[in-house]
Amino acid sequence: MNFDVLWFVNLFPIVLPALELTINMSLMSLVLTVLLSVFISIIRHFRVWGLSQFFGVYITFFRATPLVAQLFILYFGLPSIIPAMKSMSAFQTTVLALTLNTSAFMAETLRAAIESVDGGQLEACYSMGMTRYQTMVRVVLPQAFVVALPSLGNQFIGIIKGTALGFTVGLADIMAKAKIAAALDLRFFEAYLCVTLIYLVSVVCVEKIQGILERRLQKFC
Amino acid sequence: MITIEHLKVQFGETVVLKNVDIQIANGEVVVLIGPSGSGKSTFLRCLNFLVRPVEGKITLDGVVVDAKTVSKREIDRMRLKTAMVFQNYNLLKNKTAIQNIMEPMVTVQRMNKKEAEAVAVSLLEKVGLLHKRDAYPKELSGGQQQRIGIARALAVNANVILFDEPTSSLDPELVGEVLGVIKQLVAEHNKTMLIVTHEMKFAREVADRILFLEDGGITAMGTPQEIFENCSNERIKRFINTINSN
C-alpha cells in the first residue's frame, strides 16, 4: 500500500495550528446562531405579524438550498449588488453563512421545544402577575433549551464540519492546509485522513461536553 | 369584598357561564360544588383573567373591571390581588421548591432575594416541607407538589386565594395532607378563599357558604347546613349522594 506514515505524521504539526481558526469560526457561528434562532423562534411562537411570515420564507430558503451555494452567493454574488458587503472578509462571510444556515434549522427545533413546555406553568406564571417576557426568559426558555439540547448539539457538530467550506472562499483552515500539502506532494489519502481524524477528535470532544451539559441540566426534567 | 355582576363566558358557540351574580365578603370561605362542566373552574379563572369573560363586571378590593373594556393593566392589577392553586400543581419545573415560592416575590413584587428567601422558608415550614427546600418538582410526590403550590399562592400575599380542585389529581392517600394544609389556612388566616372541590366532607367543614353550579349558573347557595342537611332541592341531594357513595 502506498501510504507514507511519516508524511502523514509530519502533516499534523502543519495542519493543527489552523485548528484555532476552525474553533473560532465554530464558536462565533454557534453564539450568533443561538441568538438569532432564539429571536426567530419567539417571533414564530407568538406569530408576530409580518416578521413571522418573513422568517417563514427565510427558513424555507435556507433549509432548501445547499450551504455552499449560500456561501458563494454571500461571498461572490451579493457584494456586487450591495457595496457594503465588499468589505467583509472570507472569515466573516463564512461565519455569516453558517449562522444563517444553521439558524433556519435551529429556530424550528427551538420553536418545537418552546411549544413543548406545558401550558399549566404559563398559567401559573400569569396568575402570579408575571409578564409574558418574564415567563419566557425565566421559565419557558430554560426548559426549552434542555429539551432542544440534543438537537442543538447535532447542529453545532454540523457547524464545525461546515467550517471546512471556508477553504472554498480562501480561508486557510485545517482543510485548506491539508489540501495544499497534499497537492504539493500528491499525498491526498494521508492528507484527508489527517483532517478527518482532527474533525473526529474535535467532534468527540463536543459530544463529551454535550453529555456533561445534558446530565447537569436534566436534573429538573 | 368581591362583587360579580352579570358574568358571561363563552367559548365559540358554547356558553359556559351565563349571567352569574354574586357577592363575597372579605375573609369568607366559599366552596363551589357541582357536576363536571358546570363552569366552576371557569368561574374561578375569570377572577384572575386566565379566562376572559365576554360580559360582566368584577369588583375586587376596589378595582372595578368591565369585561368588555378590560385593559392589560387592569388584568395585571386583578392578578396581584389574587393567587391560584391549580389542579395539576403547575410548579415551575426548572425551579426548586424554594425558588418556586420565591419567584412571585422576586419577579413580580421586586422583593430582595434575602427577604424573599426568609418568607419562603417560613412558608415551607408552614406546609411542613422545609426539608424539601432544594428539591425539584419531579422529585416530589403529588401531595408535596400541591403543598408547595399552596405555599407559592401564599407568597404573593394576595387577599383572595382561588383553589381549583386542589386534590383532584392526587392519589386518595395523599388527599388528606393537602386538605389538612388548607384547613389550617382557613383556621389561621383571614383571607377570602374560593375553593372548587369534590370533597364533600371537607367542603362541609371549611365553608362559610356553598355554591352549587349547574349549566353555567349558580342554582343554589347556602350554609353547609342548608345545602347538606336541610336541602329541599332534589337535584342537589342527588348530586351529593352520588359523590358520597363513590
Residue with the bigger pLDDT between B104 and B171: it is B104
Residue B193 lies in a domain: yes
pTM of the predicted model over 0.80? yes
Q: Cα–Cα distance between A23 and B114 in angstroms, integer?
A: 41
Among all residues of chain B, which has the CA nearest to that of A123? B50
**Percentage, residues of chain A above pLDDT 90:** 55
CB A173 within 8 A of CB A95: no
| pLDDT band at B173; cut points 50, 70, 90 | confident
Interface contact B50-A126, CB threshold 8 A: yes
Interface contact A221-B156, CB threshold 8 A: no
Among all residues of chain A, which has the CA nearest to that of B72? A131
Q: Cα–Cα distance between B214 and B235 in angstroms, integer?
A: 10
pLDDT digits (tens, 9 = 90+) for A168-186: 888 888 888 888 888 888 8
Q: B142-155 vs B172-188: helix axis angle to the nearest 10?
A: 20
The residue segments making up the domain with residue A87 are: 5-220
Q: Cα–Cα distance between A158 and B216 in angstroms, integer?
A: 56
Whole-number average pLDDT of chain A: 90
Name the domain count of chain B. Answer: 1
Task: Name which of B70, B14, B17 is nearest B40 in CA terms.
Answer: B17
pLDDT digits (tens, 9 = 90+) for B7-51: 999 998 899 999 899 999 998 999 999 988 888 999 999 999 999
Amino acid at B222: G
**Percentage, residues of chain A above pLDDT 70:** 99
Which of A122, A125, A128 would best serve as a mutation to test chain B binding (most B beta carbons within 10 A)?
A128
Interface contact B103-A127, CB threshold 8 A: no
Q: Cα–Cα distance between B203 and B48 in angstroms, integer?
A: 23
Q: Cα–Cα distance between B231 and B219 in angstroms, integer?
A: 12
The residue segments making up the domain with residue B41 are: 2-92+159-245
Residues 6+ apart with CB under 8 A from B153: B83, B84, B85, B161
- Residue B130's pLDDT is 93
| pLDDT band at A1; cut points 50, 70, 90 | low
Which of A99-103, A146-150, B95-99 shows the lowest per-residue confidence on average (mean pLDDT)?
Answer: A146-150
Residue A62 has pLDDT above 70, yes or no: yes
Please provide the distance, in angstroms rounded to a whole number, between the alpha carbons at the two ends of chain A.
Answer: 53
- Which residues from chain B sit within 8 angstroms of residue A138, using beta carbons? 92, 103, 107
Interface contact A138-B138, CB threshold 8 A: no
**Percentage, residues of chain B above pLDDT 90:** 56
A7: exposed, middle or buried (Cβ count in 10 Å: 0-12, 13-18, 19+): middle
- Residue B216's pLDDT is 87
A111: exposed, middle or buried (Cβ count in 10 Å: 0-12, 13-18, 19+): buried
What CATH number does residue B68 fall under? 3.40.50.300
- Residue A143's pLDDT is 93
Which of A114, A121, A126, A127 would best serve as a mutation to test chain B binding (most B beta carbons within 10 A)?
A127
Which of B107, B109, B113 would best serve as a mutation to test chain A binding (most A beta carbons within 10 A)?
B107
Residue with the bigger pLDDT between B118 and A76: it is B118
Name the domain count of chain A. Answer: 1
Q: For chain B, positions 125-154, list CB contacts with chain A under 8 A.
A: 136-138, 152
Q: Pull the grid cell for residue B193.
A: 378563599
> Measured between CB atoms, which of B76, B91, B107 is closest to A138?
B107
- Complex-level ipTM: 0.91
Q: For chain A, positions 92-121, list CB contacts with chain B under 8 A.
A: 120-121
Residue B233 lies in a domain: yes
Residue B25 lies in a domain: yes
Find cell 444563517 and name the residue.
A100
Residue A135 has pLDDT above 90, yes or no: yes
pLDDT digits (tens, 9 = 90+) for B130-154: 999 999 999 999 999 999 999 999 9
Q: Cα–Cα distance between A158 and A107 in angstroms, integer?
A: 15
What CATH number does residue A146 fall under? 1.10.3720.10
pLDDT digits (tens, 9 = 90+) for B180-224: 888 888 888 778 999 999 888 889 888 999 999 988 899 889 898
Residue B118 lies in a domain: no
| pLDDT band at A221; cut points 50, 70, 90 | low
pLDDT digits (tens, 9 = 90+) for B45-63: 999 999 999 999 999 988 8
Question: What are the beta bridge partners of residue B57?
Answer: B5, B66
- Residue B1's pLDDT is 85
> Residue range B161-167: average pLDDT?
92
Size of chain B, expressed as the number of residues it contains? 246
